[in-house]
Amino acid sequence: MKKLILFSCFFLITLNSCSTNKVLQQYIKVDIELNKTKSFATKLYDKKLLASKTLDIYLGTKIHEMNTRAKSFKQDDYDYLVNRYTDASMVANWNMRESKQLGFMDLVETNLPSTTSPNNKDIYIYQLSDPLFTKDKKQVLFSIAISKTPGLFLDVYVVIMKKEKGKWVLVEKVYDGGVY
């Protein structure tokens, strides 16, 4: 009986983690397909971006006259997300199974890789956060960093999507305002 309960809990946790990544899969699929048409390889860096980084970009910063806060920012959502998604409570790495489910050709391990693949294709390495769902589950935020080598970013931004008629649609992309 204990084994059945443990198996059921494991199955529900696995099912839940797969379904939360569907929004990532839906969004990132377009980038991966575009990269293929340009003969770029697309890989996933195994280290996840921290939830705190996603929330920092969502909150925004004021740089001189420019404000990088998300136009769709809501203080109630932010407060909920800060309390719900702490860096310590999140899994720190993607695994190979998740990488394949998201549509990436390969998973880049933590050590620094070469920036070209064996068939001389350029490689774009994506680093993703976990999706962060608002309390009402009608919006989701996640961050994406794109690089040629992990840690040397070409682009860092937060994607904000909302659910409409059972599908996730893009609300906005918020860049972190950093210079890379």
Residue 57 lies in a domain: yes
Amino acid identity of residue 10, one-letter, is: F
Per the model's pLDDT, the better-predicted residue between 68 and 130 turns out to be 130
- Residue 137 domain-assigned (yes or no): yes
Q: What is the pLDDT of residue 132?
A: 96
Label residues 117-134 b or e (16+ Cβ within 10 Å = b): eeeebebbbbbbbbbbbb
Which residue range is the domain that position 90 belongs to?
Answer: 22-175
In a domain, 81, yes or no: yes
pLDDT in the model for residue 90: 81
Does residue 6 fall inside a structural domain? Answer: no
**pLDDT-based confidence at residue 17 (cuts at 50, 70, 90):** very low
The better pLDDT of the pair 120, 8 is held by 120
3-state secondary structure of 116: strand
79 within a domain of the structure (yes/no): yes
Predicted local confidence at residue 11, as pLDDT? 37
pLDDT at 172 over 80: yes
Q: How far apart are CA 75 and CA 97, in angstroms?
A: 35
User: How does the average pLDDT of the chain come out, rounded?
Assistant: 80
Residue 3 lies in a domain: no
Mean pLDDT is lowest, of 33-37, 44-48, 130-134, for 33-37
Q: Round to whole Å and give the CA distance between 74 and 52.
A: 16
Predicted structure pTM score: 0.79
Question: Based on the structure, what is the number of domains in the chain?
Answer: 1
Cα angle at 107 between 101 and 32, to 5 degrees? 60
The answer to whether residue 55 is domain-embedded is yes
| pLDDT (average), residues 128-145 | 95
In a domain, 67, yes or no: yes
End-to-end CA distance of the chain: 55
Counting beta carbons within 10 angstroms of the beta carbon of residue 108, is it exposed (0 to 12), middle (13 to 18) or buried (19 or more)?
buried
The single-letter DSSP state of residue 165 is T
